[in-house]
């Protein structure tokens, strides 16, 4: 008797069919499976299909037999549940640093982790086209290159650019290479930033990853540039990833802002009652236009106790704004 065709691939095709076409509400009978195998050029008999299903179970696939008018089989448990994938899709869609093209590619890959029936439920969540998305397609690979350099403890070089009114790249330093010791990657305000030590600047500085071009790992080691660096503390101090002078700021705020302060600086921040309706808090922050804007939004509910230099700075900014009205 001639050997049936496609037997070496049969169990692999069977696994693929079950993963792609079945879930808890969509099962396939053995006859359905035989027909779908035949559509791939693989002949199969009922007994061998039963044997293959059992082998896939032993391999670790969570195949459940459903008893109705006829026996049906479906994949019950997967590496990712549908609610988990919905969260991941939402994260991809809402991330400005991932371009529209790359967002759609990632979502397509996430859809492959569920049945085609559940993939449709993920597709209905996709609203990428009208979202503000990054223009730099290379950011996806920039992040990977920087992670590798950080893990290896090596310096990196790159070009850094801004956009002009025509949305064209304008390279800083006339296109000359930056060379820095990468310390960490932070995600702030839906953008990726590289925190690094540069010989050209005192202390730490940071760069928008989507504005970096031609990243290359150098042979030179970073040394102890990352020693003592705490990403969480750094994120609390730096508003909008604007650099500036770090100072201790004491604020007197309305009690309605307690949750706002905890959200920004963490639960460990010390809040001291000041009367029945107010509290004071002292925090270390980098003084920047973004921090000033953060304070402005609270109006009369926030009073700057110290330092005086910050009070003066806010007065100047307020007067400048009012002069343009």
Q: Taking residues 90-106, report their average pLDDT.
A: 78
pLDDT in the model for residue 166: 76
DSSP strand pairing (204-208 vs 191-197): antiparallel
Q: What is the pLDDT of residues 19-37, one digit of tens each?
A: 999 998 899 999 999 999 9
d(CA 2, CA 240): 71
pLDDT in the model for residue 13: 94
Instruction: Give ∠ CA 308-312-315 in degrees, rounded to 5.
Output: 140
pLDDT in the model for residue 2: 47
Q: In the numeric block, which tokens belong to residue 113?
A: 């982790």
d(CA 196, CA 206): 6
Q: Quick one: which of 87, 88, 91, 3 has its CA closest to 48?
A: 3
Residue 64 CB contacts under 8 Å (≥ 6 apart), including other chains: 73, 74, 75, 76
Identify whether 177 is preceded by a cis peptide bond (ω within 30 of 0).
Answer: no
pLDDT surpassing 50 at residue 122: yes
d(CA 257, CA 276): 14
Return the higher-pLDDT residue of 75 and 198.
75
pLDDT in the model for residue 1: 39
Domains present along the chain, CATH in parentheses: 7-75 (1.10.10.10), 82-123 (no CATH), 139-229 (2.30.30), 233-322 (3.30.70)
Q: Quick one: which of 211, 217, 216, 218 has its CA closest to 138?
A: 211
- Whether the Cβ atoms of residue 120 and residue 144 lie closer than 8 Å to each other: no
pLDDT in the model for residue 323: 82
Tokens 């009367």 correspond to what residue? Answer: 275
Tell me what the pLDDT averaged over the chain comes to: 84
Tell me how far the alpha carbon of residue 129 is from its chain's centroid.
18
pLDDT in the model for residue 296: 86
pLDDT bin (cut points 50, 70, 90) of residue 240 is low
pTM score over 0.95: no
pLDDT in the model for residue 135: 58
pLDDT bin (cut points 50, 70, 90) of residue 57 is very high
- Whether the Cβ atoms of residue 262 and residue 232 lie closer than 8 Å to each other: no
d(CA 292, CA 295): 5
Q: In the numeric block, which tokens belong to residue 271?
A: 């809040």
d(CA 300, CA 313): 17
Rounded to the nearest 10 degrees, how much is the dihedral formed by the CA atoms of 8, 9, 12, 18? Answer: -120
Return the higher-pLDDT residue of 18 and 121.
18
Q: What is the pLDDT of residues 193-217, one digit of tens each?
A: 898 988 777 778 888 888 899 999 9
DSSP strand pairing (278-286 vs 246-254): antiparallel
Tell me the β-bridge partners of 169.
163
Q: What is the pLDDT of residues 254-289, one digit of tens each?
A: 999 998 888 778 778 899 999 999 999 998 888 878
Q: Quick one: which of 230, 282, 301, 237 has its CA closest to 264?
A: 237
Q: What is the pLDDT of residues 288-298, one digit of tens each?
A: 787 888 888 89
pLDDT in the model for residue 156: 95
Tokens 């760069």 correspond to what residue? Answer: 207
Q: Quick one: which of 160, 157, 172 has its CA closest to 136?
A: 160
Tell me how far the alpha carbon of residue 229 is from its chain's centroid.
21
- For 71-97, the three-class secondary structure string (H helix, E strand, C coil) is EEEEECCCCCCHHHHHHHHHHHHHCCC
């Amino acid at each position: 008797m001639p050997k049936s065709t496609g037997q070496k691939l049969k169990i692999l095709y069977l696994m693929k069919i079950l993963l792609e076409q079945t879930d808890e509400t969509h099962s396939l009978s053995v006859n359905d499976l035989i027909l779908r195998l035949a559509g791939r050029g693989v002949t199969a008999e009922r007994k061998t299909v039963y044997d293959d299903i059992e082998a896939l179970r032993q391999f670790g696939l969570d195949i459940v037999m459903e008893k109705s008018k006829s026996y049906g089989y479906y994949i019950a448990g997967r590496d990712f549940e549908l609610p988990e994938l919905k969260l991941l899709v939402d994260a991809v869609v809402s991330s400005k640093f991932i371009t529209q093209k790359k967002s759609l590619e990632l979502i397509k890959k996430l859809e492959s982790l569920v049945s085609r029936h559940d993939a449709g439920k993920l597709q209905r969540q996709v609203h990428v086209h009208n979202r503000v998305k990054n223009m730099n397609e290379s950011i996806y690979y920039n992040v990977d290159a920087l992670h590798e350099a950080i893990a290896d403890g090596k310096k990196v070089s790159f070009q850094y650019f801004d956009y002009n009114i025509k949305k064209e790249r304008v390279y800083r330093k006339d296109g000359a290479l930056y060379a820095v010791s990468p310390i960490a990657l932070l995600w702030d305000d839906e953008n990726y930033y590289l925190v690094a030590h540069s010989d050209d600047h005192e202390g730490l500085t940071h760069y928008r990853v989507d504005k970096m071009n031609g990243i290359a790992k150098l042979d030179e080691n970073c040394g102890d540039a990352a020693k003592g660096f705490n990403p969480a503390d750094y994120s609390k101090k730096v508003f909008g990833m604007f650099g500036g002078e770090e100072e201790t700021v004491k604020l007197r705020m309305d009690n309605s802002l307690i949750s706002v302060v905890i959200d920004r600086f963490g639960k460990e921040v010390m809040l001291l009652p000041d009367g029945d309706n107010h509290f004071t808090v002292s925090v270390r922050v980098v003084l920047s236009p973004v921090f000033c804007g953060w304070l402005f939004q609270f109006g009369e509910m926030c009073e700057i106790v110290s330092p005086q230099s910050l009070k003066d700075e806010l007065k100047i900014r307020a007067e400048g704004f009012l002069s343009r009205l």
